[in-house]
C-alpha cells in the first residue's frame, strides 16, 4: 500500500503532460519556467474541476473546449493575418 500515493503522483505527471504541454517550455530562466509550470497546473486544475462537475473525463473536456474554439475561429476569426510575399 505504500506505493499508492506515489502512483497517484505518477498519474498526475502523465496527465498534466498530455493535457497541458508542460514539457514544451524551452525557457532557460527559472522564473519563466516556474510561471509556465504554474499556468499548466492552473489549466489542469480547471479542466479537472470542470470534468468532475459535468461528469466527463478531462480529455473530453479539453477536446470539446478546443473544438468549440476552433469552430468559432473558423466562422468568425479574431486573429488577423497579414498577407506577405515570400521571395
Q: Would the pTM count as exceeding 0.95?
A: no
What secondary structure does DSSP assign to 31-57, as a single string?
HHHHHHHHHHHHHHHHHHHHHHHHT--
For residue 82, is it within any domain?
Answer: no
pLDDT in tens, 24-82: 888 889 999 999 999 999 999 999 999 999 999 999 999 999 999 989 988 998 877 77
For residue 80, is it within any domain?
Answer: no
Q: How many folded domains does the chain comprise?
A: 1
For residue 83, is it within any domain?
Answer: no
Q: Find the domain containing 63 and state its range.
A: 4-75
Nearest 5 degrees, angle CA 45-CA 15-CA 32?
65
For residue 28, is it within any domain?
Answer: yes
Residue 85 has pLDDT above 80, yes or no: no
Amino acid at each position: 500500500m505504500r506505493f499508492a500515493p506515489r502512483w497517484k503522483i505518477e498519474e498526475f505527471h502523465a496527465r498534466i503532460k498530455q493535457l497541458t504541454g508542460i514539457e514544451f517550455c524551452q525557457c532557460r530562466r527559472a522564473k519563466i519556467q516556474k510561471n509556465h509550470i504554474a499556468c499548466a497546473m492552473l489549466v489542469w486544475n480547471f479542466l479537472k474541476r470542470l470534468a468532475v462537475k459535468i461528469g466527463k473525463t478531462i480529455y473530453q473536456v479539453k477536446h470539446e473546449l478546443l473544438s468549440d474554439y476552433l469552430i468559432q475561429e473558423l466562422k468568425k476569426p479574431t486573429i488577423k493575418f497579414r498577407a506577405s510575399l515570400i521571395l
